[in-house]
Amino acid sequence: MSDRRTFMQQVLGGGTAMAVSGLVPSGRILGANDRVRFGLIGAGDRGKAIFKAAIKAPNTEAVAVADVYTRRLDEVKAIVPGVKTYSDFRRMLDDKSIDAVLIATPQHQHALNFVPAIQAGKDVYQEKTMAFNPDHARRMRHAFLASGRVVQVGIQSTSSAEQVRARELVHDNPMGRISAIHAHMYRNSPYGGWKRPIPADCNAQHIEWKAFEGEAALHPFDPNRYMNWRFYWDYSGGNVFENMVHQVGFWVKAMDLKIPERVSMSGANYFSPEMQVPDTMDVSMALPEKILFTWNSGFGSSYYGADEVVLGTDGAVVRDQRRGSVSYVSKPTRHYGAAVSAADVVGGGGDETEMHMQNFFDCVRSRKTPNCPFEIGFRSAVACEMAVASYRQGREVRWDAESEQIV
């Protein structure tokens, strides 16, 4: 455990540079103005979105894309005609001229892509939720420790002006005793807006099905499982992994929160009968800081949207995502929303994904710690894994910090 604690201190130590250890191939040594050559692993909707953000970053070059579906490879070639294409991402990692990879595969694949990428000496932009289960999280950490690689986890709000302001407000204002954080995320959309049509070429001739399944339970080829993987426990943590992780990660970063000690989750599926994962849910996380972090979500109403509030005895910090604002409220009352001042409206800071990607490439060159380093991704992922475990097992679960297991 001593190595793990030392690692945490290094990663969260205020943005200091990480030394390259030489334990893995380090690739090219980049100067401050050198072009970063990158590849993409996983070219679905989110993969193409971060790929486009990476292209917009100055002095970068898109070199390659890997995906198990030929259609996805063709879609990326339409964006960058000269890009190399691979059905097996490991062949892409053999290219020593590639400095960094962006990973945007389904959640059950993250560790299977991340560990070989780190071992190949690549810096990694890893989409959230970083790890699918505690075993994957531990494997990813083992690969990352002492590797000298730069890792940015795709919780893009950690690169926002809201993040900077939230940290200032929580630490610089009289909050008193903080005992609760509440967050919610609602939308009025069956299936959460995730349901995808099945293209005519979505078949076993165009998809490397066994590669897609990875370590998940084996099933005969099923185009719906491939296109709508978010519906299935084999590949997805549902909206906990899709959206709760963003709100948890935001405050883990702003307040340096630790992994919850206990988590319980209840819910149901009321609007999306084809999904195994719930579409209405409530999560309660007891943190070691003696803070109760609650999160609830549903796909049957957009009344609440996505907001968070940190509650202290002497003040509250309110994040209103629709307004793009983070505000401090002194001596909060029931009608805290009326106290939001124009001075605290942050909006207009630019596209968060593009800013997050730019921060990643800046750190690839400088070797500094990025805005969402590995440890923030690790803690946020474990909190989400605990919620899913609680829901599926129908009981409260705990985190055993020594064994790093959900019990």
Sheet holding 84-86, edge to edge: 84-86, 60-66, 36-41, 100-103, 123-126, 151-153
Assigned domain for 115 exists: yes
Total count of domains within the chain:
1
* Gap between the Cα atoms of 108 and 111, Å rounded: 7
Assigned domain for 95 exists: yes
Assigned domain for 57 exists: yes
- The confidence score (pLDDT) of residue 404 equals 95
Regions of the chain short of the pLDDT cut 50: 1-25, 336-343
Assigned domain for 399 exists: no
The CATH number linked to 83 is 3.40.50.720
* Gap between the Cα atoms of 140 and 120, Å rounded: 13
What is the Cα gyration radius of the chain? Answer: 21
- The confidence score (pLDDT) of residue 335 equals 52
Question: Torsion over CA of 51, 57, 58 and 59, rounded to 10 degrees?
Answer: -40
Residue 38, domain extent: 19-158
Q: Which residue type does 310 have?
A: V
The Cβ of residue 124 has, within 10 Å, a number of other Cβ atoms equal to 27
* Gap between the Cα atoms of 27 and 121, Å rounded: 6
* Gap between the Cα atoms of 316 and 339, Å rounded: 11
- 197: Cβ–Cβ under 8 A, 6 or more apart, which residues? 227
In eight-state DSSP terms, residue 344 is G
- Would you say the pTM of this structure is higher than 0.85? yes
* Gap between the Cα atoms of 34 and 259, Å rounded: 37
Assigned domain for 382 exists: no
Tokens for 32, please give them.
């401050």
Assigned domain for 111 exists: yes
- The confidence score (pLDDT) of residue 338 equals 43
Phi, psi angles (nearest 5°) of residue 353: -65, -40
Assigned domain for 313 exists: no
* Gap between the Cα atoms of 369 and 348, Å rounded: 25
Assigned domain for 53 exists: yes
